[in-house]
Structure 1
Amino acid sequence: MNTTAHADALRPVITFKPPAVDIQLPYSHELEESVIGGLLVDNDKWWEVDAIITPDDFYSKPCQEIYTAIAGLLSKGIPADIATVQDELERQTRLTPIGGFAYLIEIAKNCPSAANVTAYAVRVAEYAAERRLKIDLAAAFSGDTEALMRVRRPTHNRRLSLPISKGFDGYNTTQSYVIKNYLPENSLTAIYGPSGSYKSFLALSWGCHIATGKTWNNSRAILGAVLYVVGEGGIGVPRRVKAWADLYNHGENPLFLYRVNCPVFFADPQQVYELEQAAKQIEKESRLPLKLIIVDTLARCFGGGDENRASDMGAFIQGCDRIKATTGATVLVIHHSGKDEDRGARGSTAFRASLDAEYMVKREGNGGALVLRCTKMKDCEEPEQQAFDLKPLPVFTDDDGDELTSLVLVDTGRKPAEEIPEELSGISRLTGNHMVVWQAIRSRTANAEPCTRSVIRDDLKAIGADTKNFARTIAKLVDDGLISIDGEQINPLSHSSVTTPTQ
């Protein structure tokens, strides 16, 4: 017996009775088996196939049963091979009716090419649409008015139809937020910055305000449950929550803020599935929609991949997108900046490309404040750059009688203080007056204008700056190697060349 004949012998008899006589329903058993065989050989194709067909698109009941088993396993992060699918079908007492273990082997063995499984799925979906149309036509001719409406306005093939609108329809649709102007609803968002830049304090502040429905920085927050994936922070996170509660919630626990106290690898479908189950449990317990999932940090929740490799970053993004789609929550990822902060977050640029909103955070000088700057806002206006102070609060007293404190972000922003110019970074004991004098010198020399003690003193008086300690300020700038004095002329030393005016 040849291979085809053997497969036909194993193949169960398919019976299907249409609602009207003399209807030839189109299908291809070989294509349906090729989809199943391709998935058994290559599970990675399932995400593409799942976007094209549903179990109901299979004409063959055995293929429908096997596809359902495969989809159930893969959606839980469990590999779907011949052994696991056999076990799943046996558990449901469905293996024998579909042809037994031998039929599974034949399907996998006779698959023409696992690489073409997506194309097979498209054709199976097309056959399914044709069958439904023929059945509805037959029913419509028999007087079924609902079937007639479906023929006139087809809705069968929802996965292959494209949403179409006209002109400026929808121009007045407003962006939905979980925190207005800052966190778009059902979005993928990131905060990045160097270590110690207080980015986790910002994320936690957003989470606590959403979990209690409190306004943040004069922006409305939508009340909902929040899930914090604590990949970093350890025991520090609950202490930060306690400090926030003492300052903003009368000391009461924000009960709709939940924590997962371990990293979750978003590139691992099994762990993503477990996070989805946790989200369902939270919504059931809180009776609120899950509005925000905080991932702290990308590095700790990345797994064993390489952040710089686009394919590894793509797997992480796919996990975030899946969580976003299944929960409806905004996913907020805390990430580190690269060696050059001006070039953005660390790792593959695929991450930034996938974001709906992105924020950069850095410390304001050496003080206890952060500067928040929006570096991407996909569908609306970027909020202005602001600084937010952090306030230390006592949290509890330990067994040795030592008082333990935690910082809490003040939720009202202010204009950032003027930053120390790069040329002055590393210079100790600089005051605002030193910086004013330095800027006056740089302004004069950059335009090739006279720069003498008397000229700079007059410039300072003109802007209302203090000149009482002018001589001492000039002496410090000389001692620090920032300027040189040649008679009355002052020359900056921090740049290798001075900008000259255009001739």
Structure 2
Amino acid sequence: MSSLEPPPWVTEDQGFADYLNQGTAQLPKKPITLYPWPDLQAMERRKYLIKGLLEQGGMSVVYGESNSGKTFFALDIAAHMSLGWSWQDRKTRKGKVIYIAAESGLGIAERLIAFRNHHKLERYGELYLALRTILLVGENNDCDQLIEKIKETEDVELVVVDTLARAMGGGNENSSEDMGFFIRCCDKIREETGAHVMVIHHSGKDSSRGARGHSSLRAAIDTEIEVSQDSGVITAQVLKQRDGKLGDQFSFELTPIEIGEDEDGEPITSCVLSPCLIAPKEKKLSGQKRRALDILRNCIIDKGEKRQVRKEMPMVDCVTLSEYRDYLKREKISSSDKPDSENKAITRAIDQLNNAGITCSYTDYIWIVDRKDKSGQTNPG
């Protein structure tokens, strides 16, 4: 423990050991209860927040690059839930929503006005904005105050934290201690209020590596959704689903909506999400290719490392073919349980991605081709 450096907000008097053991973001101790197998049948089943996507009382991360549309995506979910509307033809659990708009709070308000105008709402959903940073890391965090406010509001089903960076204040996203503190705060919110916590987050410098920051965040969440934008189409894709189906994809376009006039009498506009059938970049991918690519992305996020596979090539984020084959086998890319048929299906899936120029493999490694860098388009040698 002594080898770890304390975060900047830990005073010399407090000491790092006291910081780690403090109860500010600790869940209350509960007795250990063991349930025999026969009793499990009568236990309450998990309930959905959005059927097949988000669990009631769970935790999710929606991440993407700047201006990818991740806030539009989260706000669209929040607005639909607060109104009790289905979302993308999926049932939702109607409930109050608290949206912590720590980044561009007034911009969020304008987007909600655009949503109201676009849908010609005669009633408002029970959605509440917090227009300031709410810290969920550090000695002076706002975790308990936020929980108190959620309880006062009553029947809150969803809390959106936009963004993780703002909620961490001066904390370090790459630090296991700081990220662990943030996760404990989110767990405490969920435990004491029953609300689902959705965290809006940024991609790292290399988007193929997933959300930036310490890997403990991905391990802690139930659902991870990547949001990207290409040629004006916003695509949200499920990359992690602890107890559900991977690979679900939703595509949208931004529709400009007039929301008023400025002081010069000129129109003020914002946007709403409008569903579209499919993102242009995905048209060439069959269902099986798409699934194999999703599995490779998850494999790279979990086990990838940056390597220069050949001297004449740039560094790439890659995994070994053995690691990727293990993931394909675990995710049952083959419908057959026979080892020979399974191995053939796995080899076929890898070959299809390589032949389509989506991935590249050489010696023992495989990686996803960077469309901006044509040097990896063709399989070497």
Normalising by the smaller structure, the TM-score range is 0.5 to 0.7
Is 2:107 the counterpart of 1:236?
yes
Deviation at 1:251, TM superposition (A): 3.4
Report the equivalent of 1:120: none
Deviations 1:32-62 (A, max 9, x none): xxxxxxxxx947535499744xxxxxxxxxx
Tell me if structure 1 keeps the 8 A contact 2:256–2:270.
yes
Amino acid aligned to 2:134: V
Report the equivalent of 2:278: 415
Deviations 1:370-393 (A, max 9, x none): 111101011122352231122111
Tell me if structure 1 keeps the 8 A contact 2:79–2:125.
no
Deviation at 1:305, TM superposition (A): 1.1
Report the equivalent of 2:216: 350
Deviation at 1:194, TM superposition (A): 0.1
Report the equivalent of 2:162: 296
Report the equivalent of 1:166: 37
Report the equivalent of 1:179: 50
Alpha-carbon separation, structure 2, partners of 1:398 and 1:315: 43
Within a 5 Å distance, the mapping from 1:329-340 to structure 2 comes to: 329-340=195-206
Amino acid aligned to 1:221: T
Please give the secondary structure, in 1, of the residue aligned with 2:166.
coil
Runs of 4+ more than 6 Å apart: none
Structure 1 380/174 Cα, relative in aligned 2: closer, same or farther at 3 Å? farther
Is 2:132 the counterpart of 1:251?
no
Tell me if structure 2 keeps the 8 A contact 1:267–1:318.
no
Higher strand share: 2
Tell me if structure 2 keeps the 8 A contact 1:266–1:319.
yes
Structure 1 216/171 Cα, relative in aligned 2: closer, same or farther at 3 Å? same
Alpha-carbon separation, structure 2, partners of 1:494 and 1:270: 47
Q: Give the counterpart of 1:196 among 67, 75, 97.
A: 67
Amino acid aligned to 1:179: I
Within a 5 Å distance, the mapping from 1:270-281 to structure 2 comes to: 270-281=141-152
TM-score when normalising by structure 2: 0.66
Within a 5 Å distance, the mapping from 1:70-81 to structure 2 comes to: none
Please give the secondary structure, in 2, of the residue aligned with 1:300.
helix
Structure 1 383/496 Cα, relative in aligned 2: closer, same or farther at 3 Å? closer
Report the equivalent of 1:360: 226
Structure 1 224/494 Cα, relative in aligned 2: closer, same or farther at 3 Å? closer
Tell me if structure 1 keeps the 8 A contact 2:84–2:92.
yes
Report the equivalent of 1:267: 137
Amino acid aligned to 2:132: C
Deviations 1:314-356 (A, max 9, x none): 0111111111111110000000000111111011011111101
Deviation at 1:281, TM superposition (A): 2.3
Deviation at 1:270, TM superposition (A): 4.7
Deviates more, 1:176-185 or 1:378-387: 378-387
Please give the secondary structure, in 2, of the residue aligned with 1:170.
helix
Tell me if structure 2 keeps the 8 A contact 1:186–1:331.
yes
Is 2:188 the counterpart of 1:314?
no
Report the equivalent of 1:385: 249
Alpha-carbon separation, structure 2, partners of 1:179 and 1:386: 14
Alpha-carbon separation, structure 1, partners of 2:376 and 2:207: 24
Please give the secondary structure, in 1, of the residue aligned with 2:183.
helix
Structure 1 318/400 Cα, relative in aligned 2: closer, same or farther at 3 Å? same
Report the equivalent of 2:238: 374
Please give the secondary structure, in 2, of the residue aligned with 1:299.
helix
Please give the secondary structure, in 2, of the residue aligned with 1:192.
strand
Amino acid aligned to 2:201: H
Alpha-carbon separation, structure 1, partners of 2:72 and 2:243: 26
Within a 5 Å distance, the mapping from 1:25-174 to structure 2 comes to: 42=18, 44-45=20-21, 47=23, 51-52=28-29, 159-166=30-37, 169-170=40-41, 174=45
Please give the secondary structure, in 1, of the residue aligned with 2:257.
strand
Q: Give the counterpart of 2:263 among 391, 399, 414.
A: 399
Alpha-carbon separation, structure 2, partners of 1:173 and 1:274: 30
Structure 1 279/371 Cα, relative in aligned 2: closer, same or farther at 3 Å? same
Please give the secondary structure, in 1, of the residue aligned with 2:272.
strand
**Number of matched residues?**
278
Deviation at 1:495, TM superposition (A): 4.2
Q: Give the counterpart of 2:86 among 205, 208, 215.
A: 215
Tell me if structure 1 keeps the 8 A contact 2:102–2:166.
yes
Report the equivalent of 2:298: none
Tell me if structure 2 keeps the 8 A contact 1:182–1:383.
no
Structure 1 385/193 Cα, relative in aligned 2: closer, same or farther at 3 Å? same
Deviation at 1:239, TM superposition (A): 0.8
Alpha-carbon separation, structure 2, partners of 1:246 and 1:49: 43
Alpha-carbon separation, structure 1, partners of 2:257 and 2:26: 53
Higher helix share: 1
Please give the secondary structure, in 1, of the residue aligned with 2:60.
strand
Q: Which runs of 5+ in 1 are unaligned?
A: 1-40, 53-158, 284-288, 422-441, 445-492
Structure 1 417/175 Cα, relative in aligned 2: closer, same or farther at 3 Å? farther
Q: Give the counterpart of 2:77 among 206, 210, 224.
A: 206
Deviation at 1:163, TM superposition (A): 2.8
Deviation at 1:267, TM superposition (A): 1.6
Task: Tell me how large the CA RMSD over aligned residues is.
Answer: 3.0
Q: Which has the larger radius of gyration?
A: 1
Structure 1 180/413 Cα, relative in aligned 2: closer, same or farther at 3 Å? farther
Q: Give the counterpart of 1:328 among 182, 188, 194.
A: 194
Amino acid aligned to 2:106: I
Alpha-carbon separation, structure 2, partners of 1:500 and 1:201: 41
Amino acid aligned to 2:129: R
Structure 1 293/414 Cα, relative in aligned 2: closer, same or farther at 3 Å? same
Deviations 1:54-102 (A, max 9, x none): xxxxxxxxxxxxxxxxxxxxxxxxxxxxxxxxxxxxxxxxxxxxxxxxx
| Identity in percent | 31
The structure showing larger relative contact order (alpha-carbon pairs under 8 Å, at least 6 residues apart) is 2
Please give the secondary structure, in 2, of the residue aligned with 1:351.
helix
Amino acid aligned to 1:340: D
Tell me if structure 1 keeps the 8 A contact 2:239–2:247.
no
